Structure 1
Amino acid sequence: MKSDIDLLILDYIDGSITKEQEVELFEWVEASEQNVEYFSQSVAYLELTYTSGKSEKYNAEKGWKRLSDKLNKRSILFQMWQSYGKIAAVFLFAFLMGYGVFRYELIPAGEQLSQDYITTEVPLGSKSVVTLPDGSRVWINAGSAMSYPVKFDENHRTVKLEGEAFFDVVTNRKRPFFVETEGIKVKATGTQFNVRAYADEAFVETILVKGEIAVNRTNVTDDELVMHPNQKLTLYKDQAKKEHAAHHDVEKEEAEAPKAPKNIPLKVKKVELTSNVRTDIYTSWKDREWIIFKEKFGMLAQKLEKRYDVKIKIKDRQVCDFAYSGTLKDENLKDVLDVLSITSPIKYEFDSKNVTIWYNPKFYDSN
């Protein structure tokens, strides 16, 4: 039975699990505390073997060979694991090799985290999926970092986020789930929501897809706001410039938006709660099809920078106000820029990791 469960866990991580298999897996997980612990630890260890920031996955066959070379082939340990074949190689090799690498190399320099915490950093141009100790899943966007304990506290589950992430939280009303990020603290008991809190952007944003969450501003008492599905909460920063003031400044006329100092309350000039929003517009960044809807190029440029790991310089300010709608599916950056230049009055130059955009007045002559 355990080997069957291991196979289901592998399919779950790989994304190839069917709906029926997923139901079977989680019925087994929920059957006992031991199963929950086995599942969460197995998934955590297995995910460590995925190449950070790349699409390549862990090669179980090579891992098994490397592991078997280290073990005495006559030992009981080897005979026991050999019967499980490649599945055993993945889990044991992850435990012996991946776990230490993950815990030490991915903790950024200068970060004062204890050995009981794990930090996942996702570089620009990448995305990552993490399964937390309670089985909750988190999709982490490019240029983001999330830290969480190896084992959650008995009374609460707390993670710290810098950047953007989508949370699918396992329901547990006795142990609320908290996300602490720049300026806000989100409380959930079991729900799906998206948090966007990049230091170089002019806002902090929370989107609720399913369930219910409560949002508090950091260090502000009596400020709890309860959100319901299809609502968007936006906190506009007082100290940051508007959309076009990130890395793609208009000919450097404006300085880059400053990063908010850590441990200092976020200065907010405006709080906005919007209902009946299309949540997929704000969460599809994690999916194969990325939905863009009435997005001004000033904000779109910031997202393109993170998604494709490039620097975008806008030479003409008016380009920032052009709005775009559409769906991108596995397109590379050049394909995206080609479509934008065909459908709107812009031209671009693309050199390695640098993109220059400017207004094209001749666009209307040919249309």
Structure 2
Amino acid sequence: MKTQHHIDQLILNYLEGGLSREERHELEVWLREDAANQSYLEEMQAVWIAAETELQITDDVIGQEWEKLEKRHFSKPGNTFNWQRWAKIAAIFLLGALFSWGISSYQMNSYFAELEESVIEAPMGAKSTITLPDGSTVILNAGSVLKYAGDFGKNIREVSLEGEAFFEVAQDKSKRFQVRTSDITVKAYGTKFNVKSYGDERTIETTLVEGSVSIVKNNRQKSKKEELFLKPHEQLVFYKASEEIEPVEAVTPEAAQPEQTVERKPEKILISKGIDPQLFTSWTEDRLIMKSEPMQKMVIKIERKYNVKIHFEDADLKDFRFSGIIENETLENVLAAISIASPIDYTLKDRDVWLRKKKEEKNKN
């Protein structure tokens, strides 16, 4: 349970414009718990604005009023603050009626707008283009979600991403632009780059087109963060830690059920140099470029682009490699092209596609 001391500290950090991402989340949760919490923050906000713009109070008077406030709210041992930081709030006892200062409703509720989070989604089968408040442009790929706080750009420029997006960042050396994913954060230095971080994929890819970016692993222990920098035409692939369960054939006839083994795959990072960025950004121009790409990875791109579900009737087709360019084609044309260029046949029904070996291929086996 959060103490009043902790809540007031969050409010102070908010009023000073210094909330961290975690603190912002805590404050949002607390505000939703009870309408009285919102009223309390409204009062603190109103007093803060009034004292900042209207009041002329000496330090001696504020010190006396602070003692009253401290006895009222922070009487428990250890619950002490630096009263100078709370000087404006201490003035609450001098205001009489909070709203007699004529604080506008806009000022009273400005914190709500700052705490609200903007959420942009690109549905399956479509892309979305967004211009952020700082002028940066983001293209969201199908099945992706981008989020940013209402006070984006006030202290930091940070967005969170699940899915894939291409960023063209507006330069502002005083406020670093950051893209936060599930496991890593990409810091931009005025640049163009692509980030792919779908929740159902083990890898997170950062591909740099222009400028410079750095990548750090999300870690609460700041001292352990290592910043890796990329140059244009370089790509960093972060492999998430995973556990895969694989069945093992029974070694004795007495075994009623097959045994299982868990293969633990650790995190790892791979940096590739001299890559062709178009292979990873062509989706922004409604093109898919495949260069000896396994069918298992290729169908994921097709599923997102055309909003379909693809099933393999023959599992070994997943390893078949395909090269080619898909550009402004219908789904039927794409499937027909795959069938012509490979030993694959297909059936399309509604939003489902089934892939199988052609009969002549099966007869060979």
Normalised to the residue count of structure 2, the TM-score between the two structures is 0.59
Task: Tell me how far apart the structure 2 counterparts of residues 227 and 306 of structure 1 sit (CA, whole Å).
Answer: 28
Partner of 1:329: 327
Task: Spell out, residue by residue over 1:206-251, the C-alpha distance to the aligned partner (whole angstroms, 9 max, x if none).
Answer: 1011000010111162321111111111112232769xxxxxxxxx
Task: Tell me how far apart the structure 1 counterparts of residues 350 and 266 of structure 2 sit (CA, whole Å).
Answer: 37
Match of 2:190, SS state, is coil
Partner of 1:350: 348
Q: Structure 1: which amino acid aligns with 2:169?
A: V
Partner of 1:270: 268
Partner of 1:232: 235
- TM superposition shift of 1:151: 4.0
Task: Spell out, residue by residue over 1:307-363, the C-alpha distance to the aligned partner (whole angstroms, 9 max, x if none).
Answer: 111111112122111111222221011111100011101111110111111122515
Aligned-pair identity in percent equals 37
Q: Structure 2: which amino acid aligns with 1:313?
A: H
Partner of 1:186: 186
Match of 2:296, SS state, is helix
Larger Rg: 2
Match of 1:229, SS state, is coil
- TM superposition shift of 1:117: 2.1
Q: Structure 2: which amino acid aligns with 1:231?
A: E
Task: Tell me how far apart the structure 2 counterparts of residues 361 and 295 of structure 1 sit (CA, whole Å).
Answer: 24
Task: Pick closer, same or farther for the CA change 1:314–1:323 going to 2, 3 Å.
Answer: same
Task: Spell out, residue by residue over 1:132-166, the C-alpha distance to the aligned partner (whole angstroms, 9 max, x if none).
Answer: 00110000011110012344233320001111100
Task: Spell out, residue by residue over 1:89-116, the C-alpha distance to the aligned partner (whole angstroms, 9 max, x if none).
Answer: xxxxxxxxxxxxxxxxxxxxxxxx9753
Task: Tell me how far apart the structure 2 counterparts of residues 326 and 211 of structure 1 sit (CA, whole Å).
Answer: 29
- TM superposition shift of 1:173: 1.4
Task: Pick closer, same or farther for the CA change 1:327–1:302 going to 2, 3 Å.
Answer: same
* Structure 1 portions without partners, runs of 5+: 1-112, 243-266
Matches within 5 A, 1:200-349: 200-219=200-219, 221-239=224-242, 268-349=266-347
Task: Spell out, residue by residue over 1:10-59, the C-alpha distance to the aligned partner (whole angstroms, 9 max, x if none).
Answer: xxxxxxxxxxxxxxxxxxxxxxxxxxxxxxxxxxxxxxxxxxxxxxxxxx
Task: Tell me how far apart the structure 2 counterparts of residues 169 and 240 of structure 1 sit (CA, whole Å).
Answer: 36
Task: Pick closer, same or farther for the CA change 1:193–1:277 going to 2, 3 Å.
Answer: same
1:144 aligns with 2:147: no
1:133 aligns with 2:136: no
Match of 1:209, SS state, is strand
Task: Tell me how far apart the structure 1 counterparts of residues 344 and 283 of structure 2 sit (CA, whole Å).
Answer: 24
Match of 1:214, SS state, is strand
8 Å contact kept, 2:183–2:240:
no
Task: Tell me how far apart the structure 1 counterparts of residues 358 and 210 of structure 2 sit (CA, whole Å).
Answer: 43
8 Å contact kept, 1:349–1:356:
yes
Task: Tell me how far apart the structure 1 counterparts of residues 156 and 121 of structure 2 sit (CA, whole Å).
Answer: 23
8 Å contact kept, 2:134–2:153:
no
8 Å contact kept, 1:203–1:234:
yes
Normalised to the residue count of structure 1, the TM-score between the two structures is 0.59
Match of 2:126, SS state, is coil
- TM superposition shift of 1:289: 3.0
Task: Pick closer, same or farther for the CA change 1:268–1:148 going to 2, 3 Å.
Answer: farther
Task: Tell me how far apart the structure 1 counterparts of residues 230 and 196 of structure 2 sit (CA, whole Å).
Answer: 16
